[in-house]
Amino acid sequence: MAGPKVFIFCPIDTSGATHRRLEAAGCELILGDEGWISPTGHTDDDLIAILKDCDAVTGTMMRGASFSKRVLASCDKLRIVAKYTIGCDDVDTDAATELGILVTHGPTESNWGGVAEGTIADMLCILKKLRERDRHLKSGGEWRTPELTGTYLGARTEGPRADGYPGLTIGIVGMGRVGTRVADLLRPWKVRILACDPYIPDTHFGEHGATKVDLHTLLRESDVITLHTFLSRETTRMIGEAEFAMMKPGVVFLNASRGPVVVESALIKALNDGKVAAAALDVFEREPLPLDSPLRQMGDKVLLAPHVISNNVGSGLEPAIGWATDSILLALKGELPPDNVFNREVIPAWKERFGGRPIL
């Protein structure tokens, strides 16, 4: 009898160790290629053809095809989609829940903690004009000129400073792992932190030095706004022209979540109009960022990176590959992975379909 089939799209375990673990357990592997992370590589029809006999699927992020409701509904045997990434925006998790399919992800601390650290680095780079100062001095510019003046971040939160400087207000959209770590990293700076997240208990905000507000209040009152949300139906295009109009003139805007959370054309307009003084962007509506994107022509008004903010020595996806492999083996044994289920509301239906029904 053939073992359960596992599709690994765009395999990135160069050591092959997790592949050998799955094969040693009795799994039959189907290995994808680089095309699965290309917007022009593969289609949903290709995915349906491969998944029709699969019991599990795992990998990073897909750009062309996706685990849409149509794809998932075609998979009678599929027990689990085990993502290496923290984000699951290539999976219709609502459809997966409806169909009783488990979705797990990889929120390893080295990754989400790295995103938080990178966010602070981007924020300071813009506020302290690090690029401008370095370039000015290396090019032989005049010593100490006014345009190199940075912005002071901190202020006493318990009352006004003796010199009257109010300090900055930092707005954090999304108080999950990344947003919470950003708040924790900012606390010693004594800044005023506003945060919004309708899915986080009220007590969590105060425990991490933030004041809970609604999104519109955060947009109106913040000097720096940083986004740390999952991409979902609710958050797609969440920040558009109306939201930029609410912001303070000269706001600094950072996005290290997902590109489609922001209407990019509205951001470009806000940058051109001076409403947004500067932006740090690790993610974009289209990736790779098109060569003709206006964002590439904005000089120091934008600090751009190719979706690598979580890529650091000692991090990357390697820890999550093993985590996803563990989840697959448990699911194929009819057991529930304990700590990385993304769509936890599926658990009762999943247990009814697959619980206690091992195929390994």
Provide the 8-state DSSP code for 262. B
Angle of CA points 359, 73, 323, to nearest 5°: 50
Residue 236 lies in a domain: yes
Q: Report residue 26 CA to chain centroid gap.
A: 34
Asked if residue 138 and residue 163 are part of one domain, the reply reads yes
Last residue of a domain, one of 304, 328, 344: 304
For residue 261 the two structure tokens come to 């959370």
CB 226 within 8 A of CB 197: no
Whether omega before 290 lies within 30 degrees of 0, making that bond cis, reads no
Tokens of 353: 């379909």
Asked if 248 and 129 sit in the same domain, the reply is yes
Shared-domain flag, residues 142 and 273? yes
Q: Tell me how far apart the alpha carbons of residues 277 and 222 are, in angstroms, rounded to a whole number.
A: 13
Q: Phi, psi at residue 190, to the nearest 5°?
A: 65, 30
Residue-level pLDDT at 63? 84
Question: Do 134 and 335 contact (CB within 8 A), yes or no?
Answer: no
Helix (H/G/I), strand (E/B), else coil: 30: strand
310 within domain boundaries: no
* Residue 140 falls inside a structural domain: yes
Token pair for residue 97? 């829940």
Q: What does the alpha-carbon distance between residue 175 and residue 206 come to, in Å, rounded to a whole number? A: 11
Q: Is residue 309 part of a domain?
A: no
Kindly tell me the burial class for residue 44, based on how many C-beta atoms sit within 10 Å of its own C-beta (0-12, 13-18, 19 or more). Answer: middle
189 and 283 inside one domain? yes
What domain range includes position 45?
A: 5-108+316-354
Q: Which residues are catalytic?
A: 258, 287, 307
64 and 179 in a single domain? The answer is: no
Q: Residues in the chain with pLDDT < 70?
A: 1, 155-160
Instruction: Tell me how far CA of residue 131 lies from CA of 114, 142, 345, 350, 359, in angstroms.
Output: 21, 16, 46, 51, 56
Residue 256 lies in a domain: yes
Which residues, at least 6 apart from 284, have a Cβ–Cβ distance to it below 8 Å? Answer: 259, 264, 293, 295, 307
Specify whether the CB–CB gap between 42 and 35 falls below 8 A.
yes
Same domain, 155 and 271: yes
Residue 347 shares a structural domain with residue 330: yes
Report the CATH number that the domain containing residue 75 is assigned in CATH: 3.40.50.720
Reported as a single tens digit per residue, the pLDDT across 192-238 is 999 999 999 999 999 999 999 999 999 999 999 999 999 988 999 99
Q: How far is CA 209 from CA 146, 158, 178, 187, 225, in A?
A: 34, 12, 15, 6, 16
Residues 121 and 61 occupy one common structural domain: no
Taking only the tens place, the pLDDT of each residue in 131-142 is 999 999 999 999
In a domain, 228, yes or no: yes
User: Is there a single domain that holds both residue 32 and residue 95?
Assistant: yes
Looking at the fold, whether 231 and 160 belong to one and the same domain comes out as yes
266 lies in some domain: yes
How many domains does one find in the chain?
2
What pLDDT shows up at residue 126?
Answer: 98
105 to each of 75, 153, 170, 183, 221, how far by Cα in Å? 20, 35, 29, 23, 34
In a domain, 336, yes or no: yes
Domain end among 304, 329, 345? 304
The answer to whether residues 155 and 298 belong to one domain is: yes
Q: CA nearest 77: which of 58, 57, 59, 61?
A: 57
Which DSSP string do the residues of 303-340 spell out, in sequence order? EE-SS-TT--TT-SSHHHHHHHHHHHHHHHTT---SS-
- Are residue 65 and residue 147 in the same domain, yes or no? no
